[in-house]
Amino acid sequence: MTTTRGGVLDAGTGSFGDGLPDMVANLDTDTIRPIPWLPGVAYAIADIDNPDGSRSDVAPRAVLRSVLDEYEKEGLVPVCGPELEFYFAQRTEGGWERILNKAGRVYTTGSQVDPDGHYLHLLRMLDQLNIGAFAGNHEFCPSQYEINLWHSEAMDAADRTFLFKTAIKDVTASRGILGTFLGKPWNDEGGSGFHLHFSVTDGDGVNRMHDGGGELSETALQMIAGVIDHADAIAAFTNPTVNAYKRLGPDTLAPYRSNWGYDNRSTMIRIPPERGQGTRLELRIGDGSANPYVIIAVVLAAALDGIRRGLTPPAAAEGWAYEDEERPVLPMSLKAALDALAADAGLRDLLTGDFIDVFTVMKRDEVERYEAEVDDPDTRDVTAWELEEYIEDY
């Protein structure tokens, strides 16, 4: 397996020990989309399979497909709405910097927050790419933007999010800047989240998250309980970098404890106020470095575990939930999250063991390199190592 620095690791099954076997990229013709900024070229998403045609245990799209198969057995259809923020940055002689620095421009558009037209061009390109983009704006922090995507069934939502991230990296690179989804690129400004809205419907598309009387359904409560039960382990996937944990903490509008609450942005799982067909959960822990297929797969797997085991969630948090001492603090480092993942046998049963093993090898290597190369690995400050390691790739 290849690291972000171009190193190659022996990740066990299907790697050096097996003689570097082939993988096969099979074109999914349903995903073909002409690329608006590259006339004559079209994107197509590939399924990564083993040479005998079976699904690869470590391919992110295949991992999600396996989780969706389990939902189908329950007669449920997961629906997801991704919500990602990102920064525009540029490399200068002093290192990576934001391209804008005027604060206080949240929920604005126009030349003051887009003097070179990068954002507006990107919005138009995403529209023409036909991935369900419908709106956008400058976000809370200078040089930070959000472009909104419609919700849809889980695999389609994951495909569109993958295309969204790929397109933003490509369009910005073609204009000489960097679009980055890194969770916490700057010490002096907030991070970029990958909030995941999700729900389930029955086979006829009827939302199963409410009881018909304005309350959450038993299914929704079990899904909350499942995600909370596996929260520490799934953090390794929702927040898969050393950097990601520096976005989390008290009073950040990113989660700090494994809790939930009604329309409460200080909790890990927020229940938006809409009911009826719009009833859903919003997981707020993830950041943009998460793989769209993986974050959706692991969150849905944990939620399904809650349904199958009939779990009951803890009481909903009220008020400023960072002070909700009834609930434990989430892992505050990638190392702690990987330890929690190793200890979570239940999550391993829900996902393929090879997938978890290979991911763990890659991420343990990342932690080891960080700890060896940074003077104070426990610092909560963003280090130059993190920018060098991640910012261009994420």
Partner 1 sequence: MLHDLAETRRLLETQGIDVVRLIFTDLLGMTRSKDLLVSQLERSAAHGPASARARG
d(CA 136, CA 121): 12
d(CA 212, CA 276): 7
Q: Which of 74, 202, 326, 393 binds partner 1 (CB under 8 A)?
A: 393
Site pattern 209..248 for partner 1 (x: CB under 8 A): -------------------------------x--------
Task: From 183, 179, 152, select the one nearest 166 (Cα to Cα).
Answer: 179
Q: Which of 87, 119, 164, 394 binds partner 1 (CB under 8 A)?
A: 394
Site pattern 38..57 for partner 1 (x: CB under 8 A): -xxxxxxxxxxx-x----x-
d(CA 296, CA 71): 13
d(CA 323, CA 256): 9
Q: Which is nearer to partner 1, 147 or 223 (CB)?
A: 147
Q: Does 385 participate in binding partner 1 (rule CB under 8 A)?
A: no
Segment 136-165, which members bind partner 1 (CB under 8 A)?
162, 165
d(CA 241, CA 233): 14
**Which of the ranges 59-67, 127-135, 171-179, 214-222 carries the binding residues for partner 1, by CB under 8 A?**
59-67
Q: Which is nearer to partner 1, 59 or 79 (CB)?
A: 59
Task: From 282, 254, 91, 113, select the one nearest 184 (Cα to Cα).
Answer: 254
Closest contact distance (angstroms) between CB of 61 and partner 1 is: 7
Segment 323-362, which members bind partner 1 (CB under 8 A)?
355, 358-359, 362
Angle at 393 between CA 121 and CA 333, to 5 degrees: 125
* Beta carbons of 47 and 24 less than 8 angstroms apart: no
Q: Which is nearer to partner 1, 10 or 326 (CB)?
A: 10
Q: Which is nearer to partner 1, 24 or 135 (CB)?
A: 24
First-to-last C-alpha distance (Å) of the chain: 18
Would you call 305 helix, strand, or coil by DSSP?
helix
Positive or negative, the Cα torsion across 371, 376, 382, 387? negative
* Beta carbons of 391 and 178 less than 8 angstroms apart: yes
Segment 167-206, which members bind partner 1 (CB under 8 A)?
169
Q: Which of 4, 137, 152, 252 binds partner 1 (CB under 8 A)?
A: 4
Would you call 178 helix, strand, or coil by DSSP?
strand
Q: Which is nearer to partner 1, 2 or 187 (CB)?
A: 2
Closest contact distance (angstroms) between CB of 238 and partner 1 is: 12
Residue in the structure block whose two tokens are 């470590």: 58
Q: Does 368 participate in binding partner 1 (rule CB under 8 A)?
A: no
Applying CB under 8 A, the residues found at the interface with partner 1 are 1-4, 8, 14-16, 20-27, 29, 32, 34-35, 39-49, 51, 56, 58-61, 162, 165-166, 169, 240, 289-294, 355, 358-359, 362, 393-394
